[in-house]
Amino acid sequence: MKDPQQWLQRYGWEILPHPAHSPDLAPSDIHLFGPLKRHLGGMAFETEDDLISELRNWFDNLDVDFFRVGINSLLSRWQKCIDLHVDYVEK
């Protein structure tokens, strides 16, 4: 199944609308890119394959709690948007 929305519906997940241009509600912006940037900081890669290998290693070694914290952060930010009736909120 290639369509993510069909997959989510198949498993009973509710699909919520995402406010356009709301970077504070993008889990990757909030929780992924900062830690990844810190991890890669100061590293140099001779080849693209070296970079890919390091990225795979980093992702493979992330604890499940890393993702749980990111999702919970998204939930609290989403609730702020709902409570304030806005598409964007600051931290």
Q: What pTM was computed for the model?
A: 0.57
What pLDDT score was predicted for residue 78?
76
Q: Taking the chain, what is the end-to-end CA distance rounded to the nearest angstrom?
A: 35
The first and second tokens of residue 71, run together, are: 């999702």
pLDDT tens for each residue of 56-74: 999 999 998 998 888 887 7
The distance of Cα 61 from the centroid of its chain, to the nearest Å, equals: 16
Give the residue extent of every domain in the chain. 21-84
59 by DSSP, 3-state: which?
A: helix
What pLDDT score was predicted for residue 18?
59
79 by DSSP, 3-state: which?
A: helix
One-letter amino acid at 90 equals E
